[in-house]
Structures are given as structure tokens and as C-alpha cells.
Structure 1
Amino acid sequence: MDSSKPAIHGAGYPLPGGYDDIFINADQTRCFMNDGDRPELVFRQQAGQREIYHSEFFELLQQEALQ
């Protein structure tokens, strides 16, 4: 996991592919990358605030969603 402090994003920082439509209806969302030996927390979203814990994985998810 990225050891730096998580980046925090509020409304206005959308995820492509309609994923924000899913997350807006949830009280809390946690997204994990599970392609390795153990899942790694990519981001967490609660009350309109998104904390990004692993920016490289987050960017990869955004790129994949646009394809």
C-alpha cells in the first residue's frame, strides 16, 4: 500500500464509467485491488469524501473504466 497520506477528494472528482452513480447511493464504499497475494485498499469513500490510499491503482482503475 502507498505509505503516503491519503489524498482526499470531495464532490466534483468523478470516476468514469458511471461508478459514481453506484457510490453515491452507498453510505460507505471501500475499493480494493485484489490481483496480488493480498487485497490492497485503493480508496475509501464516505459522506461525499473520497480518500485515495494507492494513487497508482486508482489511476489504473480510471484508465480501465474509460476503455
Structure 2
Amino acid sequence: MARAKGVRILVTLECTECRSNGERLGGGVSRYATKKNRRNTPNRLELNKFCPYCKKHVLHREIK
């Protein structure tokens, strides 16, 4: 039997500062994987997380 599609889905959060500064020498973009409830947060998720490339807490946004 097929399983029903759950309410919680896996999303990827990406650093907004690293993405805009692609030519940085450190290289790389910070990404986090997390789950969100589709019913409670239908729009894109935004969280302040630590970026090891920027070495500070910055805004991470959900990407597709």
C-alpha cells in the first residue's frame, strides 16, 4: 500500500550573504536541512543560523 504524503516536509535553508558574495575566497555556501509543517508555515521559512563561512549568525532562507 502507498503511504500518504505527510504534512511535514524536508526543506533546505541557504545563507543569504554567502549566496550574494559568490566570489569570496573561503568559497562555499552554508546550507542546513530541516523539516517544516506545511499547514502551519505555507510560505518560505527564514531563520537566523550560524554560517561557518561568514563566521556569524545570518539569515538563512528556504530554497527549492
- TM-score normalised by the chain length of structure 1: 0.27
Task: Indicate the structure (1 or 2) with the bigger Cα radius of gyration.
Answer: 2
The structure whose residues are more often helix, as a share, is 1
The structure whose residues are more often strand, as a share, is 2
- TM-score normalised by the chain length of structure 2: 0.28
